[in-house]
Amino acid sequence: MAITATTTAKPTRAFLGTGWQFPIRVNAQGGLNYSSGEENIAESIWVILATAQGERQMRPKFGCSMQEFVFASNNPSTFGNVAHLVRKALTEYEPRVDVRDVQVQITPDEPNKVLIRVDYRIRSTNAYHNLVYPFFVQEGPGQ
């Protein structure tokens, strides 16, 4: 799974933070790879979206509860609910950014794949970025 984020500003800024690279990998020296700056923030957003609430033992409220929509209908109501949950989770768990917009849309050639586009601004640098997160839904019977 590759994390892709497009940015309007590319320089790495150590004051934005440093943490384990996601996904976690061991490097050739046997240590862990780290990321910093804008890359670290994009990875943090990805982790928040990929983590279901209740998944982390010591932080049961951490994450985004959009997994409850995995069997929901692909319709504007579901998309609005997912967008709300994404915005709420990022506002609560990623204090380095201001979420500017969340768009949820279906891909025409893959009806079970929903793309969640998050536009955000890094507070300390005022740089605008976006990230596209794929979310897979499977419509349940009768929906």
The model's pLDDT over 2-60, given as tens digits with 9 standing for 90+, comes to 565 555 444 546 566 777 777 788 888 988 888 888 999 999 999 999 999 999 999 99
Which residues are CB-neighbours of 53 under 8 A, at least 6 positions away? 60, 61, 62, 63, 64, 65
pLDDT in tens, 86-131: 999 999 999 999 999 999 998 888 888 899 999 999 999 999 999 9
- Domain 30-136: which topology? Nuclear Transport Factor 2; Chain: A, (3.10.450)
Cβ atoms of residues 83 and 116 within 8 Å? yes
Cβ atoms of residues 21 and 36 within 8 Å? no
- What is the spatial distance between Cα 121 and Cα 13, in angstroms, rounded to a whole number? 15
118 membership: H or E segment, kind and range: strand 110-122
Q: What's the whole-model pTM score?
A: 0.80
Domain boundaries, the chain: 30-136
Cβ atoms of residues 120 and 131 within 8 Å? yes
Nearest to 135 by CA among 53, 76, 44, 64: 64
**Residue-level pLDDT at 143:** 44
Residue with tokens 């150590």, as numbered in its chain = 14
**Residue-level pLDDT at 13:** 61
Residue with tokens 């800024």, as numbered in its chain = 13
Task: Name the β-bridge partners of 3.
Answer: none
3-state SS, residue 132: strand
- What is the spatial distance between Cα 137 and Cα 80, in angstroms, rounded to a whole number? 14
Write the single-letter amino acid at 136. Answer: F
Nearest to 100 by CA among 127, 79, 120, 128: 120
